[in-house]
Structure 1
């Protein structure tokens, strides 16, 4: 049973092709490993403060420009470490809820771009804000950020920008449209700039900005995620048996269906999900099941 569970998790995270499961799996695995190391340090009679400081020093993204040449990699690593269980839990829940909606309308490649790009944009917003505003001058030497919040915020805002009138049911609030949810989070982060977690708030805003402008650019026909697109290899010409006719017919039908789905997705990016006809919604729903 345990083997079956492990194989199921391994498939979902590494082989399913679903980036939501991949990022949840990677973030959770890293958190568990670092937490277990901390437990081992604690049981050995030593303080975990040194280990936590090590993570912050070598994994978190620093605002200090003097540290960046040696910590350049942290613009990616900071996105996969978390400062506590609840920090991880809330980020992964939002990533799961909104990420699934994102993938109902867009491609995994686009999800990867928005997630990673949102994290990068969040780090840059954080760094720029701390160097621009005088109030943060005293924190430049030691300030840093850690967590996937900026990347998750990019997914949330990108999804809300793509299908703003799509509703999700929330505890105590009932059905809430994504556009109102995204606006509420952005407003809270703007207010949070004056709090003790100002760096995190700036990072969230950077992720939100990336998610918003990506969808707007996509609506104008510019897909920035094409930088992740693989160049297809030339197919090998091999003909045998009479099955080729069936395969060609199936391939043509698949091509027509994909073209229809792509046309619907283009319509969503330009006009929104609510502008689809019932037939178009049914076509998109059926395609998402395959």
Structure 2
């Protein structure tokens, strides 16, 4: 099992599984710590650990624990909470990963979690209705980040169909809309209003992310640049070698061209559209879907 986990993290372009595994590992560790501390009569230490993962609504407390703006959306306490979140992340994340690539899926998840947390902090500190709950309100769970992926996928491919148990084929735009309405109507409740705010914050980010991406603006680019800088910082520097090269043809320039800037020609797009008309959208390969998306950006 350890080797499987290790292989999942070493495998390139495996961001979706890595995010799910991080959430599962944190969940298991939290529950192991809870049992250990309870058995040894040190339950107060578990409360301390959990408190340092939860996002507090009170700004004066948040300032002392700023890392919770990230840790909260990688942590769960309830088995049904993490199960539902990870299933939704997998189903909708697969679409984002297949159509937009691994890096953009990771960026969308991270930005959605941050947006959900920021909206939660703002609403609880600016709206009088929530001020009387601010001292006891904390948030834990990846729902905001997951909603960003769900709404992002529904914005990108609104008519893509999932086959739901007992319901049959349902377009994902209706699935996303149902859960958004459900979160909105629960905002007035006292039990999990913070979680519903995170849902809506993540959903708004997912919608804006895809809309801007279609216009040619990648909101996740700063995160990509940061990740590349960290990767270079920890990368091993190769030993210096002196080599001699013959002058190569322009083929090397073409092969190193950044494929994310490549726009397919009309013949390629026509062939893809013909394939959709014959076999449906689901028959497209990952590369064909990405070509279709780049063409839509150009238009």
TM-score normalised by L of structure 1: 0.80
How many Å separate the matches in 2 of 1:212 and 1:238? 50
Q: 1:31 aligns with which of 18, 27, 32?
A: 27
How many residues were matched structurally?
267
Structure 2 residue 160 is matched with structure 1 residue 160: no
Structure 1 residues 51 and 156, CA gap change in structure 2 (3 angstroms): farther
Structure 2 residue 137 is matched with structure 1 residue 143: yes
How many Å separate the matches in 2 of 1:258 and 1:135? 46
SS at match of 2:61: coil
Structure 1 residues 72 and 188, CA gap change in structure 2 (3 angstroms): same
Structure 2 matches for 1:215-254, cutoff 5 A? 215-227=210-222, 228-229=224-225, 230=228, 248=251, 252=254
* Corresponding position of 2:107: 113
Structure 1 residues 206 and 237, CA gap change in structure 2 (3 angstroms): farther
How many Å separate the matches in 1 of 2:275 and 2:260? 15
Structure 2 residue 9 is matched with structure 1 residue 13: yes
Structure 2 residue 285 is matched with structure 1 residue 285: yes
Q: How far does residue 287 in structure 1 lie from its aligned partner after superposition?
A: 2.7
CA contact (8 A) 1:20 1:100 kept: yes
How many Å separate the matches in 2 of 1:171 and 1:163? 21
CA contact (8 A) 2:30 2:77 kept: no
How many Å separate the matches in 1 of 2:207 and 2:286? 27
* Corresponding position of 2:126: 132
Deviations 1:10-57 (A, max 9, x none): 21234232111010011101111111111222333x264x34532442
Structure 2 matches for 1:140-219, cutoff 5 A? 140-195=134-189, 196-219=191-214
CA contact (8 A) 2:154 2:173 kept: yes
How many Å separate the matches in 1 of 2:143 and 2:211? 21
Deviations 1:257-276 (A, max 9, x none): 8766x549xxx9xxxxxxx6
How many Å separate the matches in 1 of 2:256 and 2:273? 22
CA contact (8 A) 1:104 1:288 kept: no
CA contact (8 A) 2:58 2:134 kept: yes
How many Å separate the matches in 1 of 2:259 and 2:60? 53
How many Å separate the matches in 1 of 2:255 and 2:169? 38
With 152-161 and 32-41 compared, the bigger mean Cα shift is at: 32-41
Deviations 1:134-179 (A, max 9, x none): 2211111221111111001100000110011111111111111111
With 112-121 and 222-231 compared, the bigger mean Cα shift is at: 222-231
TM-score normalised by L of structure 2: 0.78
How many Å separate the matches in 1 of 2:117 and 2:141? 11
Alignment gaps of 5+ in structure 1: 269-275
CA contact (8 A) 1:14 1:22 kept: no
SS at match of 2:77: coil
CA contact (8 A) 1:118 1:210 kept: yes
Structure 1 residues 258 and 199, CA gap change in structure 2 (3 angstroms): closer
How many Å separate the matches in 1 of 2:75 and 2:82? 8
* Corresponding position of 2:238: none
**Cα root mean square deviation, aligned:** 3.3
CA contact (8 A) 2:115 2:201 kept: yes
Alignment gaps of 5+ in structure 2: 233-240, 290-299
